[in-house]
Amino acid sequence: MVSNSAAIRDIENVIHPYTNLALHQTKGPTILERGKGVFVYDDQGKEYIEGLAGLWCTSFGFGEEELIEAAIQQMRKLPYYHNFAHKSSGPIIDLAEKLKEVAPGTFSKVFFTCSGSEANDTQIKLQWYMNNALGKPEKKKIISRIKGYHGVTIAAASLTGLPANHRDFDLPIPQVKHTTCPHHYRNAEEGETEEEFATRLAADLEQLINDEGPETVAAFIAEPVMGAGGVIVPPEGYFPKMQEVCRKYDVKMITDEVICGFGRTGNYWGAQTFGFEPDALSCAKALSSAYLPIGAVLVSEQMYEAMVDESKKIGTFGHGYTYGGHPTAAAVALRTLQLMEERNLMAHVQKVMPLFQRRLNALADHPLVGEARGIGMIGAVELVADKATKKAFDPSQAVGPYATSRCEEHGLVSRNLGDSMALCPPLIITEAEIEAMFDRFEKALDDTEHHVSKEGLRQAA
């Protein structure tokens, strides 16, 4: 039972996202008080390695003075302004130019949002808007993927392919369809290679487009690596095959780089890591190292011209957010991208990611782990009741949540995505800190294995 007064006040006043609210009434929160580098500290003074970079986002870790100073300077100069009705500010102009400069391909314009959810919600609206301008009012369906994650607004949560985001929210909306999840470990047929699996997935996409009618399908959206769906790395050749299908049927390809962008997969963008050329791009999270909320949508010249035509017809472009392109958030984001270059963050990532992947892959030998998977500086292990048959634990056994609690006991913040345990540390992490992170993670897995054996959970699964 919670006794800490701040925790009690939390229970009485705060609604927590992605939390079992009934359990929270008795368990209460872990209250984080401060952070430095890759470490965070709770209100009892306990240290944790922040093994998920917050929510996949604090690429520069905590307490980066350059980002703090960028916010302070902009707050003193122009703390807030909007972009409605021809208004602008220096930071958003500079940031838009910078994003176009580093983008994986040629983009025409940048639209700013406050989050990845808003960015992906905007992507849907812009596809509809463009196709109305092009005289294709029936071309409105968006294809996402089972277990994909694209946010939690009504439209973005519809793109998301996870049951908890749909159930009892009356989602998804009818314009959103879902194709096969590209998880080779779970979804490949017996003896099917990654390349063969990828070919089948492309055929599944083509079949869905034809079943729905190509004239009704506007776009396909995908995370280069699925994040909240379990850190699912696509099979060999997947994205080029999917892009070939999209181009065949004039289906735009949207890359959701909210987690994968800004170095997470070992390249600046996930699209570069997996070899495809997006027609539109969403980003957020590490755009500002999460120091302030900001997201962005990068659009093609075709899209922009359609937006201009529609706004001329209607009299305005009737979309936007009060805080979209917030000058202080934009100033911090711009400084974040500058720091990536000044400190050669990509070179650091490429130096340390082999150790990260080596320690991650070694966990495949653990008796609880069915699969270890990852790329760059993101990874996960999937906990199973039987390694030989890939039999999963019953969700009611809460093996993943138990493992997460043991991570915290050993001073590591991880996240269970069902029974997949994710790691995605700040990109500034050192090799010594990677070793410490995995040492703590292994202790938690050993504790969980003891718990599973003691409680007979394998037999009951």
For residue 251, tell me if it sits in a domain: yes
In angstroms, the Cα distances linking 177 to 205, 209, 248, 428 are: 10, 10, 19, 38
Contact between residue 256 and residue 178 where contact means Cβ atoms under 8 Å apart: no
Q: Print the domain residue range for 272.
A: 67-342
Q: Are residues 373 and 279 in the same domain?
A: no
**Cα separation, 54 vs 288, whole angstroms:** 13
Q: Tell me, what CATH number does 436's domain have?
A: 3.90.1150.10
Among residues 228, 233, 247, 286, the alpha carbon closest in space to that of 99 is found at: 286
Contact between residue 411 and residue 46 where contact means Cβ atoms under 8 Å apart: yes
Whole-number pLDDT of residue 375: 98
Whole-number pLDDT of residue 1: 46
Domain total for the chain?
2
Q: Are residues 132 and 231 in the same domain?
A: yes
Contact between residue 177 and residue 143 where contact means Cβ atoms under 8 Å apart: yes
Contact between residue 99 and residue 110 where contact means Cβ atoms under 8 Å apart: yes
**Cα separation, 380 vs 367, whole angstroms:** 15
For residue 1, tell me if it sits in a domain: no
Q: Are residues 379 and 363 in the same domain?
A: yes
Contact between residue 155 and residue 124 where contact means Cβ atoms under 8 Å apart: yes
Whole-number pLDDT of residue 390: 97
Mean pLDDT for back-to-back runs of 10 residues, the chain (461 residues)? 77 95 94 97 97 98 98 98 97 98 97 98 98 97 98 98 97 98 97 98 98 98 98 98 98 98 98 98 98 98 97 97 97 98 98 98 98 98 97 96 97 97 98 98 98 93 80
Compute the Cα dihedral for 223, 228, 233, 234 and give only its sign. negative
Q: Tell me, what CATH number does 147's domain have?
A: 3.40.640.10
For residue 9, tell me if it sits in a domain: no
**Cα separation, 109 vs 87, whole angstroms:** 16
Q: Are residues 266 and 403 in the same domain?
A: no
Q: Are residues 162 and 188 in the same domain?
A: yes
Whole-number pLDDT of residue 3: 53
For residue 6, tell me if it sits in a domain: no
**Which amino acid, one-letter code, is at 378?**
I
Q: Are residues 190 and 100 in the same domain?
A: yes
Contact between residue 229 and residue 148 where contact means Cβ atoms under 8 Å apart: yes
